Chains A and B, each alone.
Chain A
Amino acid sequence: MSFGRVIYGDNQFLGVNHASQDIAKRLHAEYSSTDRIIDALGHAYDSGIRDFMFTTHERYEEVFAEITRSALFPGLGFIPCVPYAHKYWTKISDLGVVGFAKATASELGYLNVASTLSGALTGRAGSLLGLLLKVELLMTKGLPVRGVFLQNAAFDFAMAMNQQWAIRGFADYVEGTLGVVPGFITMNHRRAEEFLCDSIEIKNPWICSNYNPAGFRMNPSSEDVCNSFSTCRSNNIAMSIFSSGRHVDKFKINEIAENSDRLGIKSFLFGSSKRENIEESFNMFMLKNNQQRAL
């Protein structure tokens, strides 16, 4: 299983804008409406996009219920990214680290946690993660899920602390139990590639990371990330290609799209709320309408 060359993202629906807090606030309010999200998804679908990557935010529960109920967007694949870190961070703020662990165990059922923890201790790490994933993925019930990605807040956290068992457990559960593609979002591409390919020995892992002409969040350096993409040891999804609107070099972005194979890019992930921008970006990444490259 694989993903399309163009994947529609959801930052706009959650009020995430790395370039402007005012735009972020406006989007956060605008997309509190289920209909507005479904409208924007419709624009992406009509453009030809068949993959939607999203965070498991409660905002989507109603959206997905409506998509399932009305059988909207046939053929659209769903790629949840877990966990919605903000939710857990707020809980840790309220309860502290130990209180958070207790509250989570209570939500999942102490008995479930005890049996899965003993599974983890005997080498079946996926059992505990599986339980957590089940809860996170409840909202996708009935939807055609193509892959599950680990958010950068969780993946980079686990990588920093060399928690190989957690990443291995996640990958095994997603691939083995759910039967879909596991993926990893990171802001540290080279380290992620080494960690996944060399330390955990996952073959050709899917990695989603920033790739843009401005070098925005290409850590530790633009050159470093370009090099690790181009090794092609991982299946790479390029995100933040427009650098959140900070530095849109149309010529260079088009050049990246045209040379994606050589650069080691399998797919492009972008989010937008306007129909014309979605169509234009899709056409550019699909190398259509090369005479009309304006964004």
Chain B
Amino acid sequence: MTDEVIMIVGGGKMGLSHAALLAGYIGASNVLICDSSRATRIVFRGLGFCVVRSVESALGSGGVRAAIIATPTVSHAEVLEKLIGAGIPCLVEKPLTLDVGKSTAIDEQVANTGVYAQVGFVLRFLSSFIALKKIVDSGCLGRVLSYKASMRGSAVGPSSNLSGWRGDSGLGGGCLNEYGPHLLDLCLNVFGEVCAVENTIGESKFSPRADDAIWTRLHHENGIRGQIHMDWADQSLRKSVAQFEVEFDRGRISVDQSSLDLVEVPEVTHAGELERIISQSRVPPNVHFYLRGEEFSLQLEAFLANIGYREFAMSEYKGECALVKDGLAVDQLISDIRESERRN
């Protein structure tokens, strides 16, 4: 182990993904995997990583420069509290926690200590969604009147093993915990704060204790209204797709992970600005190391840049980091959606 490492807490699927990508940036010998399972540590040691059993042991031995938290969501709060308490900058996978009270406590701890803490809302780093936010903020198509947002995919199916935490919303499973944070963070980031949630309906297809699909309506404080649909058990799709259809004063646009289309734009008063934003979004930025999509690389580059790796400078066209306060806002919205579902 070298003097300063970045620790990945949790050796599951997301831990593996972060570990491989991070190794592409700083080398496997500078990545420390922390997992309580001996079998998992053996697998990662075999892949060339240094391993450790607990956060306490890692902090005790020193040399941890930053941490990426990829444990099951139920343990995020506990791990974050220890790391932030020790002054370690963190990137935590989404959602922040499963409990608004715990998320609020973390937000307060971050505010009091000033430790940098980023949340893994990775879709913020996709060019098309960056362009959507720029179009909304610039007002080049006028005010937003309403929007439809959806995230669908085939993350689970009839043969999926959903007897564990993935099929239990209380443990962080289900489509609202899995797809919800990504989609809802984009809704908040692009259209502003939400003041009311209504008409929520959930449907369970395969998960024993969670919704596999959910429909809801959001009222934003600025008057914008949104219709939301999430479905992580849509077998017609090969992989997940997040889509927005946005109605402006002067036109309608359709946006997904890879494209932005002007559906009806009869009159554009700032055509130059609109064209500039769209042309910048057409080809995603190149990254220092590509593993599974530019958005994952850019998210990591943003984290590295913010903890002092100056070679990974970010620009406004590469994306905007989500912080703990954004994670708290999403957790609050998920809680409000659950409350709305109960009312129905």
Q: Decide if A and B are genuine partners.
A: yes
Chain A residues near B (Cβ < 8 Å): 14-22, 24-25, 28-29, 86, 89, 92-98, 101, 153, 156-157, 159-163, 187-188, 191, 214-222, 243, 246-247
Given contacts A28-B236, A162-B27, 9 further A-B contacts (CB under 8 A): A14-B238, A16-B238, A153-B292, A156-B24, A161-B20, A162-B23, A188-B290, A217-B290, A219-B287
B283→A97 contact, CB < 8 A:
no
**CA of A94 to CA of B284 in the docked complex: distance in angstroms?**
31
**CA of A94 to CA of B158 in the docked complex: distance in angstroms?**
12
- Distance in angstroms from A123 CB to nearest chain B CB is 16
Which A residues are in CB contact (< 8 Å) with B239? 86
Option from A95, A96, A162, A216 in Cβ contact (under 8 Å) with B283: A216
Q: Can you list, as one digit per residue, whether each of B11-31 has a CB less than 8 Å from chain A (1) or not (0)? A: 111011001110110011000
Which A residues are in CB contact (< 8 Å) with B241? 21, 25
B269: Cβ under 8 A from any A Cβ? no
Chain B residues near A (Cβ < 8 Å): 11-13, 15-16, 19-21, 23-24, 27-28, 37, 39-40, 43, 47-49, 155, 160-161, 166, 236-239, 241, 243, 256-259, 282-284, 286-292, 294
- Distance in angstroms from B126 CB to nearest chain A CB is 11
- Distance in angstroms from B243 CB to nearest chain A CB is 7
**CA of A222 to CA of B287 in the docked complex: distance in angstroms?**
11
- Nearest first, the 10 closest Cβ-Cβ pairs linking A and B are A160-B24, A187-B290, A21-B256, A98-B39, A160-B23, A21-B241, A219-B290, A92-B13, A94-B161, A214-B283
Option from B16, B47, B166 in Cβ contact (under 8 Å) with A92: B16
**CA of A243 to CA of B12 in the docked complex: distance in angstroms?**
33
Which A residues are in CB contact (< 8 Å) with B238? 14-16, 24, 28, 86
Option from B24, B257, B291 in Cβ contact (under 8 Å) with A21: B257
A25→B286 contact, CB < 8 A:
no
B258→A20 contact, CB < 8 A:
yes
Option from B16, B27, B282 in Cβ contact (under 8 Å) with A97: B16
A217→B289 contact, CB < 8 A:
no
A221→B286 contact, CB < 8 A:
yes
**CA of A193 to CA of B19 in the docked complex: distance in angstroms?**
22
**CA of A218 to CA of B283 in the docked complex: distance in angstroms?**
11
**CA of A280 to CA of B84 in the docked complex: distance in angstroms?**
59
A246→B256 contact, CB < 8 A:
no
Number of A-B contacts (CB under 8 A): 113
- Distance in angstroms from A51 CB to nearest chain B CB is 25
Which B residues are in CB contact (< 8 Å) with A161? 19-20, 23, 28, 47-49
**CA of A191 to CA of B19 in the docked complex: distance in angstroms?**
18
Question: By DSSP majority rule, is chain B's interface helix, strand, loop, or mixed?
Answer: loop
Residue of B nearest to A101 (CB): B43
Option from A21, A93, A101 in Cβ contact (under 8 Å) with B13: A93
B11→A97 contact, CB < 8 A:
yes
**CA of A95 to CA of B290 in the docked complex: distance in angstroms?**
25
Which B residues are in CB contact (< 8 Å) with A160? 20-21, 23-24, 28, 289, 291
Which B residues are in CB contact (< 8 Å) with A96? 12-13
- Distance in angstroms from A217 CB to nearest chain B CB is 7
A246→B237 contact, CB < 8 A:
no
Query: Which among A94, A156, A247 has the highest number of chain B CB atoms within 10 Å?
Result: A94
21 residue pairs of the A-B complex, CB under 8 angstroms, read A14-B238, A17-B258, A20-B256, A21-B259, A22-B256, A25-B237, A25-B241, A28-B236, A28-B238, A92-B13, A93-B155, A98-B43, A153-B291, A157-B291, A160-B24, A160-B28, A188-B24, A217-B294, A219-B287, A219-B288, A243-B283
A188→B289 contact, CB < 8 A:
yes
B12→A97 contact, CB < 8 A:
yes
Query: Which among A29, A98, A247 has the highest number of chain B CB atoms within 10 Å?
Result: A98
Which B residues are in CB contact (< 8 Å) with A24? 238
Residue of B nearest to A186 (CB): B290
**CA of A20 to CA of B257 in the docked complex: distance in angstroms?**
8
**CA of A86 to CA of B293 in the docked complex: distance in angstroms?**
13
A162→B28 contact, CB < 8 A:
yes
**CA of A156 to CA of B292 in the docked complex: distance in angstroms?**
9
**CA of A181 to CA of B259 in the docked complex: distance in angstroms?**
36
**CA of A86 to CA of B240 in the docked complex: distance in angstroms?**
12
**CA of A94 to CA of B12 in the docked complex: distance in angstroms?**
11
B286→A217 contact, CB < 8 A:
yes
B259→A220 contact, CB < 8 A:
no
- Distance in angstroms from A212 CB to nearest chain B CB is 9
**CA of A92 to CA of B15 in the docked complex: distance in angstroms?**
11
B286→A219 contact, CB < 8 A:
yes
**CA of A221 to CA of B289 in the docked complex: distance in angstroms?**
10
A97→B24 contact, CB < 8 A:
no
Residue of B nearest to A191 (CB): B289
Residue of A nearest to B240 (CB): A21
**CA of A22 to CA of B263 in the docked complex: distance in angstroms?**
14
Residue of B nearest to A160 (CB): B24
B286→A218 contact, CB < 8 A:
yes
Which A residues are in CB contact (< 8 Å) with B20? 157, 160-161
A20→B291 contact, CB < 8 A:
no
Which A residues are in CB contact (< 8 Å) with B291? 153, 156-157, 160, 187
A215→B292 contact, CB < 8 A:
no
Option from B23, B24, B284, B288 in Cβ contact (under 8 Å) with A216: B284
Which A residues are in CB contact (< 8 Å) with B12? 96-97
Residue of B nearest to A214 (CB): B283
Query: Which among A92, A97, A217 has the highest number of chain B CB atoms within 10 Å?
Result: A97
- Distance in angstroms from A167 CB to nearest chain B CB is 13
**CA of A21 to CA of B237 in the docked complex: distance in angstroms?**
10
Which A residues are in CB contact (< 8 Å) with B43? 97-98, 101
